[in-house]
Chain A
């Protein structure tokens, strides 16, 4: 006869049908609760689309699409009002482009350096710097751009730009001269090589220096009428987009794996050759995704452009002239809503939602592209 205690225990372990049903029910309830909470983010995305579209739609109903996308006349409070947003859209594109020019090369180089060049201990120091750069609130960047950077740019713009030019162009020129003179002398006999190389190098460097001095002369003469312009905003937005670009491209570079690197080293390549010819091409899609995310951040940023872009609804002449003030979509929404709020239901109110819709569509589009690229990259890595 079995021990009664064992019987008791086994009764506890084997659930009655009822208890088992209850348990299954509660677990189902729990699961569906969890699912519902999780789908809040889906609902949020859906509602954002629905509500922005719902308020943007009346604008297109009243004014049509043509004016919004093709005219540069932005006089929302004029009589009759005009809602040509082309110059504002170009403004957004221009500062995003400027930010990309700053952030992408710097960010990719920094990511390469972090993942392959720096020793572990230095990397531990550099990582928090990037994190802090990402953590500083956008309004602090905007304040810096408006209160410190803009006056500096206005008064010493020529000098600042010249210093930047020399800092970037001089090392590049020296390097290019070395490589080119090396390539030039490759064909001639060994005995005459050093002399030829020296001559070639000196001519090239001399030419480059002459061009630089000429260029900086032009830059020094430059007068910047206002420090709050597209250049200011582009630089600050570039700095703000850097952390995104760096961390995402570093992940991509890390994901490439050791075997490719070791294979390349085994063939006698230097580290630079390995990185440029093997690793960066292998991680190219990840780096592209990183750049898109960085640009997205720049386009969606509000405070910096609102405070420091000058807010002039115009297309600079010529269009790449970053020294002129511009106005962006985000700044227009932020700036005009205060006045448009009182005229609920007018085109003036709804045009801001139309702008938000354009921003939203752009961010969805670039998000989709970067996800798609990223997914392809990951599956290729996984597949070897």
Chain B
């Protein structure tokens, strides 16, 4: 081969390496950017007057006098819509048979779409379901609903053998000539004053309860549940992990027993997370009966087993990285082994151990499979500390799954789903950033 070709190949080889690292970075960005961009919309969005009303009535926050004034002007703007509907209802009875039937079904659609856009008509009875009591709380969702009021979705199957194409037919055409017709234009132009959108920073998304299965409110029960599960798992795993690491590094003599211990630790690290979940169900709940059914306690124990190997390994590495001279100096001063470990070894290894703990906290917070059968429920109130021993809890990872796949109104609450993912990812990223920062400090200290 010629030298130039060899050089080209060499460069190409380096290039492919760089390419794969770039691809990795790109995939990280592709995954994280949409989560950030859309997740932030759960916190910062244009709220409508319906949202302010909902918050005042459900969470008792906000200025009721100011709301009354706003509400008055919103009602004035809405009145023509309701007047037109009322007039059309009367007109409907005067129409002849076939046209009446056709218009009536179409009018029902308009009615229900309007109700979900603006809330219940004044004077109607109060629905027990919260979702029927308020209109759209978010301006972006209100736009979607407006579309549903103004247009009818229809499928065109005129070309046989091909998939149908979707068409939007303006309802104004359907109702042309009736007294409802002007309502559509009015709605389109005056929606602003009917809903009075305003930018808001809803940081209480994190600390509010959810209402009517996440259609309103925040994600506090999930956040709290995740915190409970994570901290509970750490309470079990950290002492066990650090003690095991001390034993393995300071006491155990190499031999068959240690070999078995190490094999088991690495085996435990390789067990699929869903198997941990089944084991937690079969052992902690069905056999040991730490609680009668799912509970935070059982979930924490399962998670603790899952992260135990990580903590053992990290602590072991941290302890081994402590210079021998520290140990020897302590021992030569007359300290006992145990004393040496407590006063010299562990403090010196602490940053390294912390790194491991922080990283496995992130893992425990994000794991879903182990808590499906042991701790998680879809809907629940925030628990008190004592209840964690017996009660299951909602948790961020499980509810992300649940809301994204099993919720009745998946599309309506996309912002909640993204908000939850963002919260979880940010939690994990903060933990990891802490770990990276601790490690950088250790590296600096080691350098001198």
Contacts and interface: CB of A to CB of B under 8 A. Distances in A.
Contacts of A186: 1
Contacts of A363: 267, 270-272, 275
Contact of A106 (B10, B24, B274, B363): B24
Nearest to A128: B436
Given A178-B8, A363-B270, A34 B401 contact: no
Contact of B21 (A54, A113, A306): A113
Contacts of A337: 278, 281, 372-373
Interface residues of B, number: 90
B374 to A, nearest CB: 11
B367 A138 contact: yes
Contacts of B278: 52, 55, 333, 337, 352-353, 356
A21 interface: no
A40 B199 CA distance: 54
Nearest to B21: A110
A270 B10 contact: yes
A52 B279 contact: yes
13 contacts: A47-B279, A110-B17, A133-B24, A136-B32, A139-B398, A147-B404, A179-B5, A270-B9, A299-B272, A300-B272, A307-B405, A360-B271, A363-B267
Nearest to A48: B279
Interface centre among B27, B31, B240, B282 (most CB of A within 10 A): B31
A369 to B, nearest CB: 11
B268 A178 contact: no
A136 B17 contact: no
A302 B369 contact: yes
A141 B405 contact: no
Nearest to A236: B31
Nearest to B6: A270
Contact of B1 (A55, A182, A300): A182
B17 to A, nearest CB: 3
A37 to B, nearest CB: 4
Given A106-B23, A334-B277, 14 more contacts: A31-B251, A35-B251, A38-B243, A135-B359, A139-B366, A139-B368, A139-B401, A140-B400, A146-B404, A146-B405, A171-B15, A272-B13, A296-B270, A364-B270
Contacts of A118: 17-18, 21
B401 A306 contact: yes
Nearest to A303: B368
Contacts of B309: 41
A64 interface: no
Interface string B352-380: 00000001001101111100110000000
A44 interface: yes
Contacts, number: 271
Contacts of B13: 271-272, 275-276
Given A41-B265, A182-B1, A140 B24 contact: no
B282 A51 contact: yes
A330 interface: yes
Interface in B392-442: 397-398, 400-401, 404-405, 414, 417, 421, 424-425, 428-429, 431-432, 436
Contacts of B387: none
A52 B31 CA distance: 35
Contacts of B273: 138, 300-302
Contacts of A31: 247, 251
